[in-house]
A and B are shown apart, each in its own frame.
Chain A
Amino acid sequence: MQKSWWKILSFGLLIYTIVGGFLLDVPALPILHESIRNLYFHVCMWFAMMILFSISLVYSVKYLRGFNLRNDIFAYQFATVGSFLGILGYCTGIIWANYTWVSDQGQSLSGILKEPKLIGAAIALLIYGAYFVLRSSFTDIDKRARISAVYNIFAFAMLFPSIWIIPRMVGSLHPGGQGGAGGNPALNFKDVDSRLRMVFYPAVIGWTLLGVWITTLKIRIQLINDKALLHEPS
């Protein structure tokens, strides 16, 4: 195992997330009750996804600047693990919504399905899904890398409006929508209770680092597999 301080940090932060996340005090809120603790898990999946997609974008730009296939592998694997975290975020959101919006708030299912953040997140994930379809449809490696790098930049540009901007311009059940406090509640220091922030920020860092670790493993495996293609003295 390659020993790195950030792998140990990730482990420590996630242990803290689970122990602190279950046992520390949280604000008592109606409807949410103890499920506010999902902030340390469900929301962190999306944050980690955003960070991994951002890293993927950086590598796509780097690929387009020098056409080094290594950067294409990095961009691809970061997008894969990012999408996986996004799907986990979606699944956890389904469970959370079922027990708060549907059963306790009395929202109808059609009301939930109109929730703009759900639609936006689905669009964003489908755009990234198209990225993988696009990649697999090329047989020429250089063409595949070049076109998918350009597409990745487009996908990232669509990610922001579809999950961060549009849900906040129209009414949303998620925090930050119209009628709520507005702005970005997770990053606004006045909005999130300080008791939640004590666990939330370490949790985001911990989950992101775990995602990065898994991505580096996938990258290293692909680098070994594609050694012949990379034309690099290793």
Chain B
Amino acid sequence: MNLRKYIFRTLFSIAAILCSFVSFAEPVEMADQMRSNGKIYVVVAVCLVILIGLFLYVMNVDRKVRKLEKESKGH
């Protein structure tokens, strides 16, 4: 248990040191690195899925309202 904690702590501090190197390399850090890794496309894809889902939902509601309008016109 103690050994595991020790390993975790070491790994974490190494990661923290690496992170600090990355962030001090440039005066203004932008997501360039993230984009070169291709990870920003993941965010774009997730947002697109949400947006498309939202639009499909609104379209569905629109269709239902249209149906109701037709029904109420028929009466």
Residues of A that sit less than 8 Å from B by CB: 1-2, 7, 11, 14-15, 18-19, 22-23, 26, 28-30, 33-34, 210, 213-214, 217, 220-221, 224, 227, 234
Contacts and interface: CB of A to CB of B under 8 A. Distances in A.
Residue from A18, A19, A34 whose CB has the most chain B CB atoms within 10 Å: A18
A56 B47 CA distance: 30
A34 B31 contact: yes
Interface of B: 27-31, 35, 40-41, 43-44, 47-48, 51, 55, 58-59, 61-63, 65-66, 68-69, 72-73
Q: What are the nearest 4 A-B pairs in CB distance? A: A1-B63, A1-B62, A28-B28, A18-B47
A224 B28 contact: no
Given A217-B61, A220-B69, A221-B65, 13 more contacts: A1-B63, A1-B66, A18-B44, A19-B44, A19-B48, A22-B43, A23-B35, A23-B41, A28-B28, A33-B29, A34-B30, A213-B62, A214-B58
A15 B51 CA distance: 8
Contacts of B66: 1-2
Contact of B44 (A23, A34, A210, A217): A23
22 contacts: A1-B59, A2-B66, A7-B62, A14-B51, A18-B48, A22-B43, A22-B47, A23-B40, A23-B41, A23-B44, A28-B28, A28-B30, A29-B28, A33-B28, A33-B30, A210-B58, A217-B62, A221-B65, A221-B68, A224-B65, A224-B68, A227-B72
Nearest to A14: B51
A234 to B, nearest CB: 6
Contacts of B63: 1
Contacts of A11: 55
Contacts of A18: 44, 47-48, 51
A22 B62 contact: no
A222 to B, nearest CB: 10
Given A34-B31, A217-B62, A220-B65, A234 B44 contact: no
Contacts of B31: 34
Given A18-B48, A22-B40, A33-B30, A224 B62 contact: no
B31 to A, nearest CB: 5
A214 B60 CA distance: 12
